[in-house]
A and B are shown apart, each in its own frame.
Chain A
């Protein structure tokens, strides 16, 4: 505690790079994995967008690098800051995110690729509030559940209900865009943080049953849009409609499978060049890794993501602060869910949903959100008690 106070009095430069500065005590493995994923991501974005226009042979790669730079700046700021600021300003962050989501559904929102998820800022820049809602929800819920009930190791029921309300508002707003993928991510975060906070096992079980019932109800009552139903049908049998919904699933499998063990080489993927897989610089970027870098490449990406996730779990488990542990756990739940859904849908074990692959997919707001999240992990890592 006093250590942090002392740091606060030093000049910014000394704080940043001086002896014993945060930079040197950061989780190097975590940072290295994130940087490696970002480099791979940049190359894949380059490869998948280089044929878009002959005027721009690097495609969106330059813009992606710019996004990464901004992301790294955000990362640094968050990493060297005291994470308790997050706790203090959690309601503000959450409020801003909800405001953004509300703006999207007003006429200020814009539609790109069929998703009404954007707010245009002018000058070719746009933000996706739904991406920012993810870290905002994590800190908001962690704040609510950080203080356990009197003499117990569990959160108070009223806090849990508050949590559900907080996440419900965000989820509903995202669902209205409609963005099924992000809604699912928000629900995963909610479930993760509540379970980590120490809810009783019977409630976990009850929740699972409830979720199953809700899914069954949504399915049978026709609450989902036909294309959303079709995505699940296509998961079970992609050949049921190979030209329609199954197309994405089939083409993704073909692209990844044809990479075989060592891939066709970066920039040499015929399926990528022919753009047989849609959205291959964002949601389906993993197929580019699969085709051009092969099994070796995909395992590397999955392993690097695994490193990030496991370092996140390690940070969460090592800290003494409930709030910090819940933030770290929530971030890991968020990233793990996105990894599973994103990679899983390209290899035919998950339905097709618009979820980006963390640190690899192209997308400004998502990159910023991810970097902020890693920054938060580093901040927590830096401020763990030295004694332990």
Chain B
């Protein structure tokens, strides 16, 4: 018995040791590492399910939809509800199968979770969100399901939204498009990262991008407690989604349609043309009434996911890159439309407003003859006539003399450069700051620009001056290029006399965007304020309450007296009746509405002329400015001016339609909407 007792003592020691070991380990797990396990437990136990918010519509100035949501009825099945049913939801699925006319087996395949060995059809998404089993369900079927919820527990029929464009291709580049959210965008939105899935769309380009956060609304969040099988045990937190705000724009859908049609015709009539753009601005407010760009595309291609092939086509040179809005991203030499800036600069620099100007057929600039188009010679004329007839030599002389006063090829330390400075005052050479992504700055080439360009290119130029261009096949061209490189290397920093002369008529290195030109004309014929144009007018809640009106910032005031602006406006008022655009406006009822404007024909090296017409109406008290640019469209009077004429006719309802009924004006009395459309509580527009 002694040995037995001794061995039982050993047992006692082992039992005590065991208890000590267990308690120490429990201390480790529960006290030392407890907090860590609390975190892990919470993570394993809770799931966040995002309930997407309905994206806001984009409306035109009168409340007509530019982008709306097409509702498609989607029937979804809540798997967690099914799992709690004794038969696993079999009976419900059978009833559902009868209503939707889809075999039960197919429904079962659709709601099973994807996983190893389970291939499509299956549900790849979160197990806690309802699984869509049928879309484009008929109203009747949806009603059957919704009205007999006792027969269809866990089944919902709900409207899901996809973007729809009731006006087809109109304003495609302005509206922008939606694309799946990228990983980097997801990472910016911390906190929701886990609950965003790959199917979330984010605004890309256009209004959809700029107003994305307002249009998006805020998704609802359901934080649920789940069990091991993913079955929802309890709802811990639920926030309902807040639908996105409605963006009311100043675009008028009918004017936009007129503009689109007119551009299409201009492109068709100028077979060489490779692009066109039009901008209609409200002179009083600086808001955009219409904006179009050619070539264009149908934004419908984005809905439901674009194919890679289609996307590559939209980006290709061959299709003319229709995603790019030429109205705000296209940079073109403005030609004579630029003369409003040059004329303003001349007066501001001390030349007489009511003086006499010489318009010879050609003018000698630093030993080189610069001629008028067609050798036009008008003798002694007023500035008024110089603008109406677009006499280049008047402006060559002014540009050249200003250049001389600044010291010519040996510039003074402080140059005045009135024309370049006036151009900048008109808003050229800098982005307009419009509420659309990526507007181009254009280019105002002055002495500083020239020097900077030389600094950045002289090394390669000077090397080329020595080595030449042996890679060029054409010997004459290689020789010319080498001479050019040699010249640029030696005196590329010089702002030459011919450059000053070209500048004065919007040629040479001057580049503007159609939008910049439109706002410059709006400033000239309006109140003299240069504005940063806006497409967005107001953000409105879906129930109709105004969130905020989007202001149009004034960038600067033109350093031009009201008298001078008035003088120039009156001169331009003669252009469509007696000036360069007289042909294009022959027969236009100027007694109904008088149109003012300025043609522009910009020569482009190696390409056809850029055709411009910048216009305003009514000429005596302008409400609207319309600018049309047709790339490779020939003379301004040839394709741009007729396009603008068609736009005015559409806006004011001039002329007869094909069935010889009077045309309904796109804007009654030519007045853009001055009050926001009223959106009723239920979301309809008054």
Which residues of chain B (20-51) have a CB below 8 Å from chain A?
A: 21-23, 25-27, 29-31, 33-38, 40-42, 44-45
Contact with B along A316-348 (1 / 0, CB 8 A): 110010100110010011001001100110011
Is B225 a contact partner of A274 (Cβ separation < 8 A)? yes
B23 x A302 contact (CB < 8 A): yes
Q: CA–CA, A340 to B45, complex, Å?
A: 29
Contact in complex: B228, A276 (CB < 8 Å)? yes
Is the Cβ of A270 less than 8 Å from the Cβ of B41? yes
The CA-CA distance from A302 to B18 in the complex, in Å, is 10
Give the Cβ gap from A249 to chain B, nearest Cβ, in Å.
Answer: 12
User: Does B592 count as interface, using CB distance less than 8 angstroms?
Assistant: no
Q: Can you show 29 pairs from A to B with CB atoms below 8 A apart?
A: A196-B11, A198-B7, A256-B30, A256-B37, A257-B33, A257-B36, A257-B38, A259-B34, A260-B38, A261-B34, A271-B44, A274-B44, A274-B225, A274-B227, A290-B30, A295-B30, A298-B26, A298-B30, A309-B15, A310-B12, A310-B15, A313-B8, A313-B15, A316-B8, A317-B5, A317-B8, A325-B1, A329-B8, A348-B25
The one of B29, B40, B44 in contact with A347, judged by C-beta atoms closer than 8 angstroms, is: B29
Asked if B14 is at the interface of the complex by the 8 Å CB criterion, the answer is yes
Indicate if A253 sits at the interface (CB-CB under 8 A). Answer: yes
Is the CB of A211 closer than 8 A to any CB of chain B?
no
Q: Roughly how many angstroms separate A348 CA and B26 CA in the complex, as a whole number?
A: 10
Contact B19 A274 (CB under 8 A): no
Give the residues in chain A near B227, CB-CB below 8 Å.
273-276
Answer whether residue A153 sits at the interface, using C-beta atoms and an 8 A cutoff: yes
**Which are the 3 A-B pairs with shortest beta-carbon distances?**
A257-B37, A260-B34, A258-B41
A303 near B: Cβ within 8 Å?
yes
Smallest CB gap from B230: residue in A: A274
Kindly provide the distance from the CB of B165 to the nearest chain A CB, expressed in whole angstroms: 46
Q: Enumerate chain A residues within 8 angstroms of B14, measured Cβ to Cβ.
A: 336
Interface residues as binary, A275-318 with B (CB distance below 8 Å gives 1, 0 otherwise):
11010000000000010001100110011011001100100110
Decide if A195 touches B15 in the complex (CB within 8 Å).
no
Q: Digit string of A172-202 for contact with B (CB within 8 Å is 1, else 0)?
A: 0000000000000000000010011110000
Report how far A255 CA is from B11 CA in the complex, Å.
Answer: 31
Q: With A153-B3, A271-B45 as known contacts, state yes or no: A261 contacts B31, CB within 8 Å.
A: yes
With a CB–CB cut-off of 8 A, which chain B residues contact A332?
Answer: 11, 15
With contact pairs A270-B45, A316-B8 given, residues A260 and B2 touching in the complex (Cβ less than 8 Å)? no
Q: How far is the CA of A51 from the CA of B229 in the complex (A)?
A: 14
B residues apposed to A, CB below 8 Å: 1-5, 7-9, 11-12, 14-16, 18-19, 21-23, 25-27, 29-31, 33-38, 40-42, 44-45, 225-229, 233
Question: In the complex, A293 Cα to B565 Cα: how many Å?
Answer: 86
Query: What is the interface size of chain A, counting residues whose CB is below 8 A from a CB of the partner?
Result: 54
Which A207-254 residues have a C-beta within 8 angstroms of B? 251, 253-254
In the complex, chain B residues whose CB is within 8 Å of the CB of A196: 4, 7-8, 11
A333 to B15, CA, bound (A): 9
Select one of A51, A295, A329 contacting B26, CB under 8 A: A295
Contact of B27 among A259, A295, A310 (CB under 8 A): A295
- The prevalent SS among residues of B at the interface is helix
Contact residues of A: prevailing secondary structure: helix
Q: State which of B1, B34, B226 has its C-beta within 8 Å of the C-beta of A322.
A: B1
Contact of A254 among B8, B23, B40, B233 (CB under 8 A): B40
Which of A274, A317, A336, A348 contacts B228, CB < 8 Å? A274
Does A274 lie within 8 Å of B8, measured CB to CB?
Answer: no
Docked pose: A21 CA to B219 CA in angstroms: 74
CB of A32 within 8 A of chain B?
no
List B contacts of A261 (CB < 8 A). 30-31, 34
On chain A, the residues within 8 Å of B5 by CB distance are 317, 325
Chain A neighbourhood of B18, CB < 8 A: 336, 339-340
Interface contact B3-A258, CB-CB below 8 Å: no
- Chain A residues within 8 Å of B11, by CB: 192, 196, 313, 316, 329, 332-333, 336
Q: Does A63 belong to the interface (CB within 8 Å)? A: no
Interfacial chain B residues near A156, Cβ < 8 Å: none
Q: Which of A274, A302, A310 has the most CB of B within 10 A?
A: A274
Residues of A within 8 A of B (CB): 51, 153-154, 192, 195-198, 251, 253-261, 270-271, 273-276, 278, 290, 294-295, 298-299, 302-303, 305-306, 309-310, 313, 316-317, 320, 322, 325-326, 329, 332-333, 336, 339-340, 343-344, 347-349
CA distance in complex: A322, B5 (Å):
10
Given contacts A302-B22, A306-B15, A349-B25, contact A317 B9 (CB under 8 A): yes
Note all chain B residues with C-beta closer than 8 A to A294: 30
Which residue on B lies nearest to A198, using beta carbons?
Answer: B3
Q: Is B41 in contact with A254, judged by CB distance below 8 angstroms?
A: yes
B23 near A258 with CB under 8 A, answer: no
Inter-chain contacts of A349 with B (CB < 8 A) = 21, 25
Report chain A residues within 8 Å CB of B7: 195-196, 198, 329
Judge whether B41 and A255 touch: CB under 8 Å.
yes
B515 to chain A, nearest CB (A): 58
Min Cβ gap A291→B in Å is 8
Given contacts A254-B41, A258-B40, A343 and B22 within 8 Å (CB-CB): yes
User: Once the chains bind, are B226 and A340 in contact (CB under 8 Å)?
Assistant: no
Q: Which residue of A lies closest to B29 (CB)?
A: A257
Q: Could you say which residues of chain A place their CB within 8 Å of the CB of B229?
A: 275
Q: In the complex, are the beta carbons of A253 and B26 less than 8 A apart?
A: no
Known contacts A276-B228, A339-B18; A258 and B31 CB within 8 A of each other: no
Question: Are B30 and A336 interface neighbours, CB within 8 A?
Answer: no
CA distance A14 to B35 in the complex (A): 57
Q: How far is the CB of A65 from chain B (nearest CB, A)?
A: 26
Q: A258-B34, A302-B19, A310-B12 are in contact. Are A197 and B4 (CB under 8 A)?
A: yes
Whether B4 contacts A322 by the Cβ 8 Å rule is yes
Whose C-beta in chain B lies nearest to the C-beta of A278?
B228
Q: Could you tell me if B225 and A270 are in contact, using CB atoms closer than 8 angstroms?
A: yes
In the assembled complex, the CB of A66 is this many whole angstroms from the nearest CB of chain B, namely: 26
CB distance from B36 to the nearest CB of A (A): 7
CA distance A244 to B309 in the complex (A): 43
Contact of B12 among A251, A255, A305, A313 (CB under 8 A): A313
User: What residue in chain A is nearest B32 (Cβ atoms)?
Assistant: A257
A349 to B27, CA, bound (A): 13
Shortest CB-to-CB span from B501 to chain A, Å, is 78
- Evaluate contact between A259 and B30: CB separation under 8 angstroms: yes
Flag if B228 contacts A275 (CB, 8 Å): yes
Instruction: Give Cα A198 to B3, complex, Å.
Output: 6
A346: nearest residue on chain B (CB-CB)?
B29
Let me know if B25 and A325 touch, CB within 8 A: no
How many whole Å from B83's CB to the nearest CB in chain A? 13
Q: Which residues of B contact A274 (CB under 8 A)?
A: 44-45, 225-228, 233
Q: Which residue of B lies closest to A305 (CB)?
A: B19
Chain B residue at minimal CB-CB distance from A299: B23
Cα distance A259–B21 in the bound complex, in angstroms: 19
Q: B226 to chain A: which residues have CB within 8 Å?
A: 274
Closest to A291 in B: B41
Bound complex: CA of A195 vs CA of B27, how far in Å? Answer: 32
Taking CB atoms, residues of chain B closer than 8 Å to A347 are 22, 25-26, 29
Question: Which interface residue of B11, B33, B34, B228 has the most chain A CB atoms within 10 A?
Answer: B11
Of chain B, the residue at the smallest CB distance from A274 is B227
Which residues on the A side are within 8 Å of B44 (C-beta)?
Answer: 251, 254, 271, 274, 276
Contact partners of A260 in chain B: CB under 8 A: 30-31, 34-35, 38
In the complex, chain A residues whose CB is within 8 Å of the CB of B15? 306, 309-310, 313, 332, 336
Report the bound CA distance from A259 to B8 in whole Å. 36
Q: A195-B7, A270-B41 are in contact. List 11 more A-B contacts (CB 8 A).
A: A153-B4, A257-B30, A274-B226, A275-B229, A276-B228, A310-B16, A316-B11, A317-B12, A326-B4, A332-B15, A348-B29
Q: B19 near A295 (CB under 8 angstroms)?
A: no
- State A347–B35 Cα separation when bound (angstroms): 16
- Please give me the residue from chain B that is nearest to A335 by CB atom: B15
Kindly provide the distance from the CB of B672 to the nearest chain A CB, expressed in whole angstroms: 60
The answer to whether residues A303 and B2 also contact, given A274-B226, A329-B11, A336-B14 and a CB cut-off of 8 A, is: no
CB distance from B114 to the nearest CB of A (A): 16
